[in-house]
Structure 1
């Protein structure tokens, strides 16, 4: 639609809404670009309306003249309780027109004139108009450059208002002097729940004025003093003053240099918001002081179940604050809702900090997931954790990725794994673990029947380490998922794929074009012999020889589920064919065996053909090997 016609359409829409039956109570025409002509039409229609209680014309560019039209149209209206005219460029003269209407309205409870450039003079007009209003609850005058003078006018008008619940004065160039004026409102008011002064210049002195006036007030639930040039010392004093005000849930101090505003805000959420069960503070750089604020709040919190402090740079001291708080906290009692997930990754924690975390593990009765990835934990830190886990009966997930545990650290954890009753997921990526460390873990897996997932990516494990794991998992039927990528294992992708089949529900298995040899087939058959669920196995284009064929033949011989086996383009010769032929004498379910592209000669093909003739159940054999001159299907 041509932009020149848009205002006309919006005018028609506005007129239609206002001329609806006179029983209408709410009109919302925000962001319709009705401009001053639209305001004139609406003003005319409102002259006879005595049912409307709420009018929203925000973001419409009505200007000063439009404000005048509205004021004239509303002069006899005695029913409107809420009017929203933010972002309309009405200026101080438009504020005067609106003020004239306010004087005649005795039921107005909410007015929004934000971002209208009314200045201190416009603030005076509105303040004077509100002098006799005894029911005003919500005033929104943000971004109007009212300055200290405007704050003074408002303070005088609102000082004795017993109904005021919220005052929004953000971005108004109010300084310490203006904050002093406003503090008089706070001293006498017993209903104010929300005060927003963000983006002003009240500074440390102004903050102290406000703090003194609020010292004995218990009604505030939200306070915003962000970006006001308040010193870190004063922020700390504000925190101490307000920390026990049980209704103050949202306290915003961001943008005041040097203060841990996120930590303070989180502290108030944890302390006073009983609905908060999860708190994500990741990547907020709260440091140790912010951790202290949070720790203070945690001491009496009984609702928080998940806390994420990843990438927060809390360090050793911050960890100690948290540990002390949690160890003395009702969170870990048997009869209350408790913390189940704790993320502390990327926090520069060393072994000493981990010792503090270990104490949490020892006392927690329901902590289920602990993430300590990307810290600086060494073998001593691993020992602290292992010792704590000996007394822990609840942890199910432990994430230690990107630390420095080494073989000794793996040993400590392996010793715990042998008997830990609940740990199911262990992540040890990039921890400088070698074959020795893997052997410790593998030995533990032979007796552990609980762990289902182990990540060992990006360590220093070679084929020997993979063999340790393979051997252990031959007897461990509960293990489901293993990650080995970016190690020194020649066939790590195949090893992963074979082991991870335990977690898959489908009945087909495919390792085509993996380049695997007989050693991997040995692992595969030992595991498949125990799962016994696959009906179709495809292994074409690999390096499987006679030994591998013998292992597969052993699997097929006693299988009652496999119906298709694809071994095309491998290195199987007559010896392997003979093993497969022998297996077919006993197997009654295999219906397709593909051996095209191997090293089977006419002798091997004849052995298979003879078995087929004597078999009671039909089978399709595709043999055409590389050493047979003519392709044949038998």
Structure 2
């Protein structure tokens, strides 16, 4: 049954709409009609309106961009007065104006079904908004109203504000790109303190001043569940800061305040400081990138003397100097709560470091101090080193990008001999040199708790080679050494290689841009044959050449620990020999061989062949656009015979030049896992083509074959047909290029008539005309397994469509037919096809995309819809048809569609009655809070869903979780992967998890979760008794966050698996989860 019809972006005028309207009068199944960007006009709307009063199925109507004026809206409004089905009405980008808004108001006052109304870009001014506002006071169904890009000014905003005082259903209101100024903003601000239902108000790009920013604060504070207030990028200055300070004094819910990138100076801080001294809930304050100087620091530190709740303070990138640092030092002597202080990118020199160091000797609460990118030199480092000998609480000290030399590093190293609490020290981008690196690496032998992030040094002086050697020989715990841009050359590499033979700790070595030639690569290769710990080696931008790459490849035959080797070279000047192995090892586990765009010679290929012979885990071989000789391709391909899991071979352009028929046949025949062979862009000779087909003759694993050529010979065609007769595994065949001719199709269709394995046939060729369509038609009359036929960019024309249409009378298996970009398809052919469809009972998807369908053709389509059951897709596939048919499915994956809130509404209604669906994936579907409401409501009724994936999510996770699980008895797995977890989201989620008893598995992969954010989750998990699996991989958690998690999880006895892979956790951080000190029930992945 046709549920969705998309006719957007055609040339349908009022005449065509009249035919559709007649069809709607009798149709009882169509739910969605999309006529966007046509030429409907006022007359066309009149036709639709007359029949909408009789239609009982249409719920979504899109008439955007159709030059509809007030006259057309008058007819539509009359229909809305009587229609009881339309829920979504899109009139965006028309010419409704104020008169049209008035007419629409009359219809909406009595309508009880429309929930979404889009009137954006319609020339509506204050007068028209007054009518709409009057309707809103009485309407009880509209949830979303879009008035974007109209002519609404202050008076219109006042009308809407008055309506919002009475309206209790509107959730979302879009007013961006209008003309609302101060008065309108003030009225909206006042009413929003009283309105309890509006959750989204967008007024971007209006000429407002600070009063709107004041309104943001009001709304945020009125929403009691809100714990995070985000006021970034709002140009907050003195007056706004004064207002914000007044409301913060009395607020009892906000715990996180973001004020980044505003105009906050000392006067602003003075206002805010008064609030901070009295506020009892705020724990995190971010004032990054403002204009706070020493005077502002004084006001802020005075407040911290009284405040007892702020734990995290970020003042990165301000103008705080040594005097300001002194104020903070005095505060640290008395404040008992501040744990994290970020003063990076300020103007603090040795004097300021001295003040802070004195405070650290007595402070017992600060655990993290960030002084990156200041002006701290040797003297400042000495002061800090002295403080570290006495301090027993600081765990993280960031001194990156300062002016610390080897002497400063020496003092820090000495301090670390006694300090056992500091776990992370960052000295990247200083001037510690090789000597400083030695001091620090030596201390690592005694101090096993500290992780010094990437000991990085520029090697200078006559003794740099011996210094490097000493550094490695005496650093028993050094795991990472960064020598980028040190220009150590082959001599330095020789010393380094000797040390690597004995070293058993180093796992990461960066030698980027060091002038290393093939000789130096040989030294490294020799070391790799003996070293058993190095995992990552960076040799980018050197001069290792072909010979050096071969040395390295030979070494890999013996080395079993190196997982990442980068030998890319970007210098393409003739005097420098380009590294021909550019991109060979982009993967992190050396499981992908990519020789893209390299003129690989036989000599160069020796190393690749040897590597392939010893690598048995290579899943992908990519030879795209390589310039290989015939013999080279044979040897590389045959060398990979021992590989047992190669599943994809992509070989394009000149990569395939086969001369040894038996070799290539044996190579493919010995593959036990190869499933896809893609040769769409290969230029093969007739003989080469036959060699490859021979290899496929008895292949039992390849299910997808993609071939394209502009010159298939008659012999090639016969060869392909013979192979297909014997192959029993192929299910999908793609053929493209001008070489795919009518003659090829004739032979192919004869063979496939009796084929029982192929299910999908796709043809893309301008050489196919009506005769080719006739051959395909004959095929479909006899074949009993083909379910999908896809034709694109062909010239089958009128007669070709007739041939295929006739087939649909006899064929009983085809469910998908795509006729896209067909040349010269006319209205008569469309009429014939539609007449046939009225008798066909199997086709479920028909695509006529990009065919310039005119008004006459639309008439025939409309007539067919009255009786036909096909789901007709004209422009894009929509997911709504799933909602009515979810009866036996257990898993439904709708990710990366355009479902949106309205589509979710349909799905949600189905879920309320569904009793079989277990897994639902809605990732990437533009779902916001409105869609979340629908889903949450459905999950209260649904008892079977156990896994829900909702990545592109809405802004109130806490509300969703609390609502969705209010009445559920079944458990739930929730995935929020790849979605930015802001402070508001993470705190809301954490609050919900403290009370939730239904979620058993939670995934937050790739959510930009930092140490500060993970603390909220850790606090929630401390009391949670249902979650047994938590995925926090691919985030930004360091040792500090790991420590916090470990401490909180000591009290949790239900979590059994925690994934912390791909974070910033060092070996020291991993020790917090040592099984000897923690529960052996928990498995932690790093």
Query: Does the alignment reach a TM-score above 0.5?
Result: yes
State whether structure 2 residue 354 is matched by structure 1 residue 47: no
> Partner of 2:748: helix, strand, or coil?
helix
Q: Name 2:581's counterpart in structure 1.
A: 261
Matches of residues 59-208 of structure 1 in structure 2 within 5 Å? Answer: 59-60=373-374, 62=376, 66-77=380-391, 83-88=397-402, 90-92=403-405, 95-106=406-417, 111-118=425-432, 120=433, 123-128=434-439, 131=442, 134-135=445-446, 140-142=454-456, 144=458, 146=460, 149-208=463-522
Contact persistence 2:624–2:653 (CA under 8 A): yes
Cα distance, 1:528 vs structure 2: 7.3
Among 285, 291, 294, the residue aligned to 1:5? 291
State whether structure 2 residue 577 is matched by structure 1 residue 281: no
Measured at CA, do residues 523 and 380 of structure 1 come closer, stay the same or move farther in structure 2, by a change above 3 Å?
Answer: farther
State whether structure 2 residue 835 is matched by structure 1 residue 515: no
Question: Over the residues paired in the alignment, what is the CA RMSD in angstroms?
Answer: 4.7
Distance 2:833 2:734 in 1: 23
Distance 1:169 1:400 in 2: 48
Q: Name 1:428's counterpart in structure 2.
A: 735
Q: Name 2:666's counterpart in structure 1.
A: 359
| Runs of 5+ unmatched residues, structure 1 | 271-275, 332-337, 565-634
Distance 1:534 1:373 in 2: 29
State whether structure 2 residue 687 is matched by structure 1 residue 380: yes
Measured at CA, do residues 563 and 97 of structure 1 come closer, stay the same or move farther in structure 2, by a change above 3 Å?
Answer: closer
- Measured against aligned partners, the alpha-carbon deviations of 1:435-464 in whole angstroms (never above 9, x if no partner) come to 221100121232123323333323422221
- Measured against aligned partners, the alpha-carbon deviations of 1:570-615 in whole angstroms (never above 9, x if no partner) come to xxxxxxxxxxxxxxxxxxxxxxxxxxxxxxxxxxxxxxxxxxxxxx
Cα distance, 1:263 vs structure 2: 6.3
Cα distance, 1:314 vs structure 2: 4.2
> Partner of 1:265: helix, strand, or coil?
coil
Distance 1:4 1:543 in 2: 62
Structure of higher RCO (CA pairs closer than 8 Å, 6+ residues apart): 2
> Partner of 1:43: helix, strand, or coil?
helix
Distance 2:702 2:361 in 1: 69
Q: Name 2:724's counterpart in structure 1.
A: 417
Contact persistence 2:513–2:542 (CA under 8 A): yes
- Measured against aligned partners, the alpha-carbon deviations of 1:72-122 in whole angstroms (never above 9, x if no partner) come to 43343478777543222x153xx423421322321588654222244x5xx
Distance 1:433 1:185 in 2: 61
Measured at CA, do residues 453 and 170 of structure 1 come closer, stay the same or move farther in structure 2, by a change above 3 Å?
Answer: same
Distance 1:469 1:150 in 2: 74
Contact persistence 1:149–1:178 (CA under 8 A): no
Measured at CA, do residues 212 and 67 of structure 1 come closer, stay the same or move farther in structure 2, by a change above 3 Å?
Answer: same
Distance 1:206 1:301 in 2: 25
Q: Name 2:759's counterpart in structure 1.
A: 452
Contact persistence 1:474–1:526 (CA under 8 A): no
Q: Which has the larger radius of gyration?
A: 1
Measured at CA, do residues 477 and 349 of structure 1 come closer, stay the same or move farther in structure 2, by a change above 3 Å?
Answer: same
- Measured against aligned partners, the alpha-carbon deviations of 1:144-188 in whole angstroms (never above 9, x if no partner) come to 454664453343354233333322221123233433443453344
Cα distance, 1:324 vs structure 2: 1.0
State whether structure 2 residue 777 is matched by structure 1 residue 470: yes
Measured at CA, do residues 63 and 104 of structure 1 come closer, stay the same or move farther in structure 2, by a change above 3 Å?
Answer: closer
Contact persistence 2:397–2:425 (CA under 8 A): yes
- Measured against aligned partners, the alpha-carbon deviations of 1:482-514 in whole angstroms (never above 9, x if no partner) come to 4444444324995799699944499xxxx9x94
Cα distance, 1:44 vs structure 2: 3.3
Cα distance, 1:245 vs structure 2: 0.9
Cα distance, 1:411 vs structure 2: 2.5
Contact persistence 1:419–1:448 (CA under 8 A): no
State whether structure 2 residue 236 is matched by structure 1 residue 236: no
Measured at CA, do residues 233 and 326 of structure 1 come closer, stay the same or move farther in structure 2, by a change above 3 Å?
Answer: closer
Aligned residues: 528
> Partner of 1:442: helix, strand, or coil?
helix
Cα distance, 1:341 vs structure 2: 1.9
Greater shift, 457-466 or 104-113, is seen at: 104-113
Among 393, 397, 403, the residue aligned to 2:704? 397
Measured at CA, do residues 374 and 467 of structure 1 come closer, stay the same or move farther in structure 2, by a change above 3 Å?
Answer: same
Cα distance, 1:377 vs structure 2: 1.5
TM-score normalised to structure 1 length: 0.68
> Partner of 1:388: helix, strand, or coil?
helix
Contact persistence 1:460–1:488 (CA under 8 A): yes
